[in-house]
């Protein structure tokens, strides 16, 4: 046992001596090593800068190519997913239509959106879907389009402040493609306008300015 202990103590002492010698050697040569590093840096500085610049330029081109590829792949994937959602998700369908209509209105009149579409609607997209479906009277929703009861054209004199009015959920109704094409920029019938929050009517529009029914329509709400 004593032999084993003595060997272990011997190894520890040897390591301590090695560390002491290494430390003494480092301290004795510290100034010289520092000077050598400084000289080596000065000698290689310009070459190193050129190499770094070349590497940066090469990596930048690679990054741009990779980023462009990623964006293209991501755009294609996103478009594919959106097409699927438009076919299967009625809430998403309505969301996209509302956003598109508001964006076209803002660009056409040279103004910016005054807020997020959901905030301008005054309700969530799910609640808007319930509002629209309630007006379908159990008819097939796939044959209907979203119509603004008071059209964008009716708000031409209040472009800046019109967005919360024209986009309010109460100003939206479902119409068939034919009905929507016939109505277009016309003022709504009295029955249509009755669904709209009175605070969201265009400035200067009164009930006596609205038609009772459109020519050729079966009811004030349907062709």
Q: What six digits make up the tokens of 209? A: 């300015």
pLDDT tens profile 194-220: 999 999 899 888 999 999 999 999 998
User: In the predicted model, is pLDDT for residue 43 greater than 60?
Assistant: yes
User: In the predicted model, is pLDDT for residue 141 greater than 60?
Assistant: yes
Predicted confidence band of residue 188 (pLDDT cuts 50, 70, 90):
very high
Alpha carbon distance 157, 173 (integer Å): 23
Predicted confidence band of residue 170 (pLDDT cuts 50, 70, 90):
very high
User: In the predicted model, is pLDDT for residue 1 greater than 60?
Assistant: no
Alpha carbon distance 55, 3 (integer Å): 60
Predicted local distance difference test score (pLDDT) of residue 212? 92
Q: What six digits make up the tokens of 2? A: 């004593």
C-alpha torsion sign, points 156, 161, 167, 170: negative
Is residue 148 classed exposed, middle or buried when 0-12, 13-18 and 19+ CB atoms within 10 A define those classes? Answer: buried
Predicted confidence band of residue 74 (pLDDT cuts 50, 70, 90):
confident
**What phi-psi label fits residue 141: left (phi over 0), alpha (psi between -120 and 50 degrees) or beta?**
alpha
pLDDT tens profile 91-113: 777 777 777 777 777 787 777 77
Q: Which of 37-41, 103-107, 144-148, 171-175 has the highest mean pLDDT?
A: 171-175
**Secondary structure, 3-state, the chain:** CHHHHHHHHHHHHHHHHHHHHHHHHHHHHHHHHHHHHHHHHHHHHHHHHHHHHHHHHHHHHHHHHHHHHHHHHHHHHHHHHHHHHHHHCHHHHHHHHHHHHHHHHHHHCCCCCCCCHHHHHCCCHHHHHHHHHHCCCCCCHHHEEEEECCCHHHHHHHCCCCHHHHCCHHHEEEEEHHHHHHHCCCCCCHHHHCCCCHHHCCCCCCHHHCCCCCCCCCCCCCC
pLDDT above 90 covers a percentage of the chain that reads 13
Alpha carbon distance 135, 139 (integer Å): 9
Predicted local distance difference test score (pLDDT) of residue 64? 75
Residue 37, Cα to own-chain centre: how many angstroms? 52
This prediction's pTM = 0.59
Predicted confidence band of residue 89 (pLDDT cuts 50, 70, 90):
low
Residue partners of 29: CB distance under 8 A and separation at least 6: none
Scan for tokens 């109704």, then name that residue.
Answer: 173
User: In the predicted model, is pLDDT for residue 73 greater than 80?
Assistant: no
More confident residue, 110 or 19: 19
Predicted local distance difference test score (pLDDT) of residue 198? 93
More confident residue, 178 or 3: 178
Report the chain's mean pLDDT, rounded to a whole number: 81
User: In the predicted model, is pLDDT for residue 189 greater than 90?
Assistant: yes
């Amino acid at each position: 046992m004593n032999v084993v202990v003595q060997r272990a103590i011997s190894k520890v002492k040897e390591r301590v001596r090695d560390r002491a010698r290494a430390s003494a050697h480092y301290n004795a040569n510290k100034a010289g090593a520092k000077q050598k590093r400084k000289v080596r840096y000065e000698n290689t500085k310009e070459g190193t800068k050129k190499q770094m610049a070349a590497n940066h330029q090469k990596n930048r081109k690679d990054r741009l190519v990779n980023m462009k590829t990623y964006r293209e792949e991501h755009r294609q994937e996103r478009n594919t997913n959106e097409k699927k959602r438009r076919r299967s998700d009625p809430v998403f369908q309505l969301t996209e239509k509302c956003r598109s209509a508001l964006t076209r209105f803002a660009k056409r009149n040279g103004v910016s959106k005054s807020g997020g579409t959901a905030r301008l609607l005054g309700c969530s997209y799910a609640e808007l879907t319930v509002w629209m479906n309630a007006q379908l009277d159990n008819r097939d929703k796939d044959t209907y389009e979203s119509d603004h009861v008071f059209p964008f054209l009716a708000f031409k004199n209040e472009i800046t402040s019109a967005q919360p009015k024209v986009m309010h959920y109460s100003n939206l109704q479902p119409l068939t493609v034919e009905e929507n094409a016939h109505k277009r920029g016309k003022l709504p019938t009295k029955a249509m306008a009755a669904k709209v929050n009175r605070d969201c009517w265009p400035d200067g529009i009164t009930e006596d300015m609205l038609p009772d029914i459109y020519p050729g329509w079966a009811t004030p709400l349907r062709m």
